[in-house]
Amino acid sequence: MNTIILTGDRPSGSLHIGHYVGSLKDRVKLQEKGEMFVLIADIQAMTDNFDNPKLLKESSYEVLLDYLSVGINPMKSNIFLQSEIPELYELFTYFLNLISIHKLQHNPTIKTELNQKNFKTGLPLGFLAYPISQASDILAFKPTYVPVGADQIPVIEVTNDIVNKFNSIYAAEVFEKINPQLSDCPKLVGTDGLKKMSKSLGNAIYLKDSPDTIIRKIRKMRSDPEHIYIENPGKLEGNTVFEYLDIFYHDKENLLKLKNHYTKGGLSDGKIKDILAETLIEYLRPIRERREKLQKDRSYLNSVLRNGRERAREVTSKTLSEVRNAIGLASSQE
Ligand code: TRP
């Protein structure tokens, strides 16, 4: 059996360095291990942005550009739009019967997100049901690996509930239990040094940020707020500048020297921020350059999406015919 890897992101704007260290970097490696499918979850993004269609379209291209510029290779991996795979909607319809509203309302991922959002006219059914839609995204591909962030674990639990119910009700072995693959890199803290890096918190550095933007964001970053006089010792704990240097600065020996200097006193926060800015600008340079080039070629971008769509439909339509058979729907094709 060949190895299938399925993963994806909700397009809500361009991706940041937290996404890069948390998942994108892993995906570039994973695409060597099997056939990878990367889903741009525009239908899922609709569940909380249905009234902002322009944002959906542009964000989908932004995410695609980020994928391609970090090195997800469309010759090896299939990148596609969720909205272009009707099989996913069909599977969703069958799965809707297998999960109760009560269960979804108590799902930790849904609960956390509901607290952050403010649905003015009541809770939309589409939003409440998105874990079922995500279960369809996953199961339609029968993946071997599903790399996701820890926040997605409750959604994978819904997926596995569906696997159990489906297989037992329809006395079939169509689906296998999913074991999520958690990234070994913990969430990257934002430039505020307080919360996880996130678009909505305004504490993110984007893969597409220009050198000037990077410099500006890093100057405002949290280092050691008690390090007022350069000659005094500075602290490394809770110092976000050093946290980032640990991840992005390659010369570990020199980094140790910088840390010693800083904790002894005599190295300014301005200086370490300059070093970090320079490090990140260099780190992101090839990504940014590739992105700028690709951005101008919408027809190439669309060809990537078309190829992804074709292959995704090939795989999912096979699953769907097994599903219809297992359920025992009548068929005029017989
Ligand atoms: N929920 C994921 C996010 O918020 C996006 C997503 C949709 C996804 N379908 C998926 C992730 C299937 C992995 C597998 O980004």
For residue 185, what pLDDT is reported?
67
In a domain, residue 204? The reply is: no
Q: For the chain, list residues with pLDDT below 50.
A: none
Q: Closest residue (by CA) to atom 2 of ligand 1?
A: 9
Q: 289 CA to middle of ligand 1, Å?
A: 27
Is residue 7 within a helix (H) or strand (E), and if so which, with residue range? strand 4-9
Q: Where are the alpha helices (DSSP H) in 170-268?
A: 211-219, 240-248, 252-264
One domain, residues 71 and 13: yes
Distance between CA atoms of residues 85 and 254, nearest Å: 50
**In ligand 1, which atom is closest to the CA atom of 44?**
7
Q: 333 CA to middle of ligand 1, Å?
A: 34
One domain, residues 147 and 234: no
In a domain, residue 200? The reply is: no
Helix, strand or coil, per DSSP, at residue 80:
strand
Q: 127 CA to middle of ligand 1, Å?
A: 13
Pocket flag, ligand 1, residue 8 (CB < 6 Å): yes
In a domain, residue 282? The reply is: yes
> Percentage helix, strand, coil, to 5, in the chain?
60, 10, 35
In a domain, residue 206? The reply is: no
In a domain, residue 323? The reply is: yes
One domain, residues 17 and 71: yes
One domain, residues 149 and 103: yes
**In ligand 1, which atom is closest to the CA atom of 9?**
15
- Name the residue among 182, 86, 180 with its Cα closest to residue 136: 86
One domain, residues 304 and 276: no
For residue 107, what pLDDT is reported?
95
Q: 92 CA to middle of ligand 1, Å?
A: 14
One domain, residues 112 and 217: no
One domain, residues 233 and 217: yes
| Helix-helix angle 53-70:42-49, to 10 degrees | 140
**Torsional class of 77: left (φ above 0), alpha (ψ -120 to 50), beta (otherwise):** beta
CATH code: domain of residue 246: 1.10.240.10
**Torsional class of 232: left (φ above 0), alpha (ψ -120 to 50), beta (otherwise):** beta
For residue 333, what pLDDT is reported?
83
One domain, residues 181 and 312: yes
Q: What is the DSSP string of 242-276?
A: HHHHHHH---HHHHHHHHHHHHHS---HHHHHHHH
One domain, residues 129 and 243: no
Q: 195 CA to middle of ligand 1, Å?
A: 21
Tell which one of 12, 43, 44, 136 to mutate to probe ligand 1, the residue whose CB is within 8 A of the most ligand atoms: 44
One domain, residues 130 and 54: yes
The number of folded domains in the chain is: 2
Helix, strand or coil, per DSSP, at residue 108:
helix
Is residue 164 within a helix (H) or strand (E), and if so which, with residue range? helix 153-169
User: Taking a C-beta distance cutoff of 8 angstroms, is the pair 140, 315 a contact?
Assistant: yes
For residue 49, what pLDDT is reported?
87
Type of residue found at 310:
E
Q: What is the DSSP string of 30-57?
A: HTTSSEEEEEE-HHHHHHHHTT-HHHHH
In a domain, residue 332? The reply is: no
One domain, residues 76 and 159: yes
**In ligand 1, which atom is closest to the CA atom of 148?**
13
Distance between CA atoms of residues 190 and 161, nearest Å: 34
One domain, residues 18 and 146: yes
In a domain, residue 201? The reply is: no
Distance between CA atoms of residues 47 and 130, nearest Å: 7
CATH code: domain of residue 140: 3.40.50.620
Q: Which residues span the domain enclosing 145?
A: 4-188+298-327
**In ligand 1, which atom is closest to the CA atom of 6?**
14
In a domain, residue 99? The reply is: yes
